[in-house]
Amino acid sequence: MNRIKVNKPLVIECLAELSDIEYQMKAWISGMPSQATGFYDTISALFDDSALGEALIKNNVTFTYSIDEMLRLLDRKITKLPKNMVTIDVVKSPTWLEVKKLAEKINKEINCEALGTKCRR
């Protein structure tokens, strides 16, 4: 089976957006003109445009086993959000706080892995 190649810089960029509430309020809710992104765009970029979603299904390991498991959990948490919620309600929901914290943890783990250091938990 061919290994799915993931656009890892895009994954990291999307995780940074998902973990930054200040950015979300400016770009997603206030519609900051220099930012042409939104919640649904970021999720689509993370799992579809980067090929991460397919890789998490087909690859044995994409980042590390631990990081891949956290990314699968992130996907499940995002999937639990109601599809018809407006962005401001998504960002204010308790589930979103879990998504934000998990995205931040995953981003930190990926950066530590890239630097070859152990992350503090």
Q: Residue 2: inside a domain, yes or no?
A: no
CA 105 from chain center: how many Å?
10
Q: Residue 121: inside a domain, yes or no?
A: no
- Summarize pLDDT for 50-95 with one digit per residue, the tens: 999 999 999 989 999 999 999 999 999 999 888 888 888 888 889 9
Q: How far are the Cα atoms of 11, 40, 60 from residue 17, in angstroms, in the given order?
A: 10, 12, 27
Q: Residue 56: inside a domain, yes or no?
A: yes
What band does 21 get if pLDDT is binned at 50, 70 and 90?
confident
For residues 79 and 86, give the distance between their C-alpha atoms in angstroms, rounded to a whole number: 15
93's torsion region: left (phi>0), alpha (psi -120 to 50) or beta?
Answer: beta
Q: Residue 42: inside a domain, yes or no?
A: yes
Query: Which one is predicted more confidently, 37 or 61?
Result: 61
Q: Residue 23 pLDDT > 60, yes or no?
A: yes
Q: Residue 87: inside a domain, yes or no?
A: yes
Total structural domains within the chain? 1
Q: Residue 65: inside a domain, yes or no?
A: yes
